[in-house]
Every structure is written in structure tokens, then in C-alpha cells.
Amino acid sequence: MRTSSSHEEGCDRRWSILTKRFDGAEKTVSKVCACTVEWYQQQGQWKFKEVPGSEFVLPADLILLATGFVHVVHDGLVQDLGLQLDDRGNIAANNFQSSVPWVFAAGDTVNGASLVVRAIDSGRQAAAAVDQWLRSSP
Ligand SMILES: Cc1cc2nc3c(=O)[nH]c(=O)nc-3n(C[C@H](O)[C@H](O)[C@H](O)COP(=O)(O)OP(=O)(O)OC[C@H]3O[C@@H](n4cnc5c(N)ncnc54)[C@H](O)[C@@H]3O)c2cc1C
């Protein structure tokens, strides 16, 4: 867990919280209704469930959503091509080759959300894998 100078200036950080709804009057928010969640593993995947009776309300006049990333978008290309996914929902690839042999994948689609340098490296390696595959194909 990283604590930066901004955190040290003063804030409360809470984890394992699920926002249920925002309340307020007219267009002004005044509170966050939330509850505590419990994490557990199911078939290797982390899931969470609400802790019964843990609902609470926090007063709020500004809410900033800092949403994370999940996986590659499935609608459209990925589904239309019928590409297999890994257990995190990214494109399953072996040496950048997807389950459809002539479809290669690289970058965030395979690694999940990551860094630009990793995407560049992944793209280069995927290009080499395509080249190798084309050369070895009859
Ligand atoms: C808000 C934000 C901040 C970030 N900050 C940093 C940072 O500070 N430093 C850092 O290293 N990394 C950062 N990243 C991560 C970095 O941007 C990604 O890891 C990187 O861009 C992944 O590159 P990529 O080529 O795999 O995918 P992308 O850059 O996402 O490129 C995929 C491309 O495919 C296109 N596409 C998708 N579907 C189709 C389709 N059906 N047909 C045609 N085109 C399609 C998309 O429009 C997009 O242009 C950040 C990411 C986000 C979202």
C-alpha cells in the first residue's frame, strides 16, 4: 500500500466498500449509501459479497469516481471472431496467437490493463510471432 504526501495531509481511506446509491435533493448530492463487502475465492477468481447488516451512510458534497479496468471489450470484434478468453476475460493467446489461428493479439487485450512500454514490447513480439507463423505456413 502506497502512502503519498497527499494522503499524509489528511484523509480516511476505506477498503472493501460497495456503493449502493447516492442520495440528495434536486441535482445536489448529499450522501453516499454503502455497505461493507467480504472477498472470497471461487474457482480461482476473486469475488465479493455484501456483509449483511453492514449498510452505512457517509455525508458527501463531492463524489469522484476512480474506476478501474476490467478486461478487453467482448462485444463486437472479440465475440464476432469467436475468440476464446482467459479466466480474466482477456483474449487467450499462446505466443500471441489466439484460439483462431490467423488472429493474433497483443497489448492490453492479452495482458489486461498495463503500461505503454509493455504494449509496445508486446506489439513487437506479436509482429515477430506473425512473421514466424507466416514463414512456417505452407
Ligand atoms: C486513463 C488511462 C491512463 C493511462 N496512463 C498510463 C500512463 O501514465 N503510463 C502508461 O505507461 N500507461 C498508461 N495507461 C495504459 C496504456 O494507455 C495502455 O496500457 C496502452 O495504451 C495499451 O496499448 P494497446 O495498443 O494494447 O491498446 P490501446 O492503446 O487501447 O489500443 C487499442 C486500439 O484498438 C482500437 N480498437 C478497439 N476495437 C477495435 C475494433 N473493433 N476495430 C478497430 N480498432 C479497434 C481502439 O480504438 C484503440 O485505438 C493508461 C491508460 C488509461 C486508460
User: Are 35 and 86 members of one domain?
Assistant: no
User: Are 37 and 84 members of one domain?
Assistant: no
Q: Is residue 55 part of a domain?
A: yes
Q: Is 92 in the pocket of ligand 1 (CB under 6 A)?
A: no
User: Are 131 and 90 members of one domain?
Assistant: yes
Q: Is residue 72 part of a domain?
A: no
Cα 117–chain centre separation: 19
The predicted model gives 13-35 an average pLDDT of: 94
User: Are 9 and 47 members of one domain?
Assistant: yes
Contact by Cβ (8 Å): 96, 104:
yes
- pLDDT at position 44 is 84
User: Are 28 and 55 members of one domain?
Assistant: yes
Contact by Cβ (8 Å): 72, 78:
yes
Q: What is the pLDDT of residues 94-119, one digit of tens each?
A: 999 999 999 999 999 999 999 999 99
Q: Is residue 35 part of a domain?
A: yes
Contact by Cβ (8 Å): 82, 101:
no
Spell out the SS3 assignment of the chain: CCCCHHHHCCCCCCCCEEEEEEEEECCEEEEEEEEEEEEEEECCEEEEEECCCCCEEEECCCCCCCCCCCCCCCCCHHHHCCCCECCCCCECCECCECCCCCCECCCHHHHCCCCHHHHHHHHHHHHHHHHHHHHHCC
Q: What is the largest CA-CA distance in the chain?
A: 69
| CATH number where 116 lies | 3.50.50.60
Q: Is 108 in the pocket of ligand 1 (CB under 6 A)?
A: yes
**Percentage of the chain lying above the pLDDT 70 cut:** 100
Q: What is the pLDDT of residues 55-72, one digit of tens each?
A: 999 999 999 988 778 899
Among 33, 59, 85, give the residue marking a domain's end.
59
Q: Is residue 68 part of a domain?
A: no
Q: Is residue 123 part of a domain?
A: yes
What region does 16 belong to: left with phi over 0, alpha with psi -120 to 50, or beta? left
Cα 76–chain centre separation: 18
Domain range enclosing 131:
77-136
Q: Is residue 69 part of a domain?
A: no
User: Are 52 and 91 members of one domain?
Assistant: no
Q: Is 119 in the pocket of ligand 1 (CB under 6 A)?
A: yes
Q: Is residue 65 part of a domain?
A: no
User: Are 18 and 47 members of one domain?
Assistant: yes
For the whole prediction, is pTM greater than 0.95?
Answer: no
Q: Is 120 in the pocket of ligand 1 (CB under 6 A)?
A: no
Q: How many domains does the chain have?
A: 2
- The closest-lying atom of ligand 1 relative to the alpha carbon of residue 111 is 26
By alpha-carbon position, which residue is closest to atom 17 of ligand 1?
A: 116
